[in-house]
Structures are given as C-alpha cells and as structure tokens.
Amino acid sequence: MNSSPVDDIPREESSKSNSWRRASTAGYFGAFIIFGLLTAALGPTLLRLAGNTGSDTSKISLIFTAQALGYLTGSLAGGRLFDRLPGHKLLAGVLLAIGILASFIPLISILWLLLAVFLLLGAMQGAIEVGSNTLLVWLYRDRVGPYMNALHFCFGIGAVLSPIIIARSVAASGNIVWVYWILAVSAIPIALWLMRLPSPKARSGSDQDQALKVNYLLVFLVAVLLFLYVGAEASYGGWVYTYAVNKFPALADASAALLTAAFWGALTIGRLISIPLAVRLKPGPFLVGD
C-alpha cells in the first residue's frame, strides 16, 4: 500500500488519542457485524429470493457467483481507495451504500437485476473487509493481533444473529422484507459514527520499508490457506439451509435457519478463543500448532 497519510491524527499516547482509538475500533467492529449479518443472510433467504424472481435453484445460485465477483472487485479497488481517501468517510459511504442496496433486495422480481444488486453488494463487502482490516492495522500498528481477532469475532456475531433474525421475521410476517430492511437500517448509525471521527494514518514510506521484508512464499501459502478456508466457509454457510430444507421436508424454516446459526456460532466460538491466544502466541506457532 502507499504511504500517503489520510487525516491528521496526533501520535502521542494521550487520553484523547486513546479515546479516539476506542471509538474508531468500535466503528470497525460495528462494520464487521453488518458484514456478518449480510454474509449469513443470503443462505436462509435464498429460496424466497428464488420465489420472488420465479427462478429454480440452479439459476438463483448465480447470486453466489455475482457476489463473489463483486467481492473480488471491491477488495482490489478498496485497497487503492483506502490509500488515497480518508478511511472513515470511505467506510461510512460503503455502509450507506449497503443500506440502500439491501433495502431493495426483497422487492426485486427480476433475476438479472437481483444479480446486479448482489454484484454491487459483494463489492461493498470486499471494501468493508479490506478497509476495516487496514484501518485497524494503521490504528494499532504492531499491537494489532488481539484487536484483529476481535474484529473477526464481530463478523461471527453478525453471522450468528442473521439467521435468528430471519427465523423470527419469517415466523412473524411470512416474508423476508423486514430481514433486509433491518439490515439496511442497522448500517446507518455505524456510518454516522465513523463519519464524525478522523481517520488513522498509514505508515510513512521509511517506516514501511524498514518494517516490511516480504516473504513471498509465506504470502503464497497464506493466500492458498484463505482460498480453501473462505471457499469452504462461504459454500457451506450459503447452502446448509437449502440442503436441510430439501433433504428433510418436514424441517421447519425456523429450524433450518437455526442450523445455519449453529454453523456460524461454532466458527465464532473459535474466533473468541483466538483472541487471548493471539496475545500469547506468535503467528507462526498459532497457525501450525508448533
């Protein structure tokens, strides 16, 4: 990443700067809860989205492809944008865009239009992940380990809550309109919270040159690990609801949604355990168990 600063933030350790760090961290955690809510919402609502658009399972599954393509695009573009623009304002704009897009999802009856919306949503998700991770690193520098694990734990919180909200909403209204509207409204206060905070600065060029000695083999291996892990996580989390409903016709929608919540809950417990471990273990032993 480039080394150009964004907003001017005092570097001295003071009560004011610590308060700013805590407030900024809360904003990133909130953004990742929204990220988790949005990610886990697709699986339990997939069949109803298919009904809204008159599509069968094979056609509606294109949503996963559209979302993934958008995510790749948002991740690549987000890295450049967060180098050049004030991070908090950019992240707030992404959250507001998610709110607008999510509010239209349950109202769309045309498949190609729904695919376009999920393409854009995927781009916003990629920008949230890249932006929140990057800003957190700029905020805490070498002490980022436990905060990074806590950030991804917040994703798990959102992912666990999402199927539960869906089960309650469907039981109360019989549709998924309120599911996506609740998600849309939830993004607004977090966006407003981040807008009022100055953004952290990137490292200076000299600091980056001294601090970063890239091990390209390690980068490649981590990329392969994430490719396999995230692919398995997204596929299972996205399809477990549909599989359960089709495999066990007597299973209620609420029970299938709670099965999805149980899956994300197990991952969230692992992320919670990783927070204290990140304080005590270096990344190498933490990954390989040495």
- Highest-pLDDT range among 6-15, 188-197, 274-283: 188-197
Q: What is the pLDDT of residue 175?
A: 87
Residue 119: CB atoms within 10 Å: 20
Burial (CB count <10 Å: 0-12, 13-18, 19+), residue 110: exposed
For residue 249, what are the CA distances in angstroms to 239, 255, 256?
15, 11, 10
* Residue 284: C-alpha distances to residues 36, 139, 205, 287, 290 (Å): 27, 23, 26, 5, 8
* Count of CB atoms situated within 10 Å of the CB of 255: 13
Torsion angle in degrees (nearest 10) through CA of 9, 133, 268, 186 = 70
The answer, yes or no, to whether residue 277 has pLDDT greater than 80, is no
Q: Is the pLDDT of residue 16 over 70?
A: yes
- Position 229 confidence tier, pLDDT thresholds 50, 70, 90: confident
Provide the token pair at 207.
């600091």
Average of per-residue pLDDT across 175-196:
94
What letter represents residue 218's amino acid? L
Over its C-alpha atoms, the chain yields an Rg (Å, rounded) of: 20
What would the pLDDT profile of 64-78 be if each residue is shown by its tens digit? 999 999 999 999 998
Residue in this structure with the two tokens 């996580």, named with its chain if needed? 233
**pTM higher than the cut 0.75:** yes
pLDDT digits (tens, 9 = 90+) for 188-220: 999 999 999 999 987 665 555 555 577 788 888
Exposure letters 181-192 (e unless 16+ CB within 10 A, then b): bbbbebbeebbe
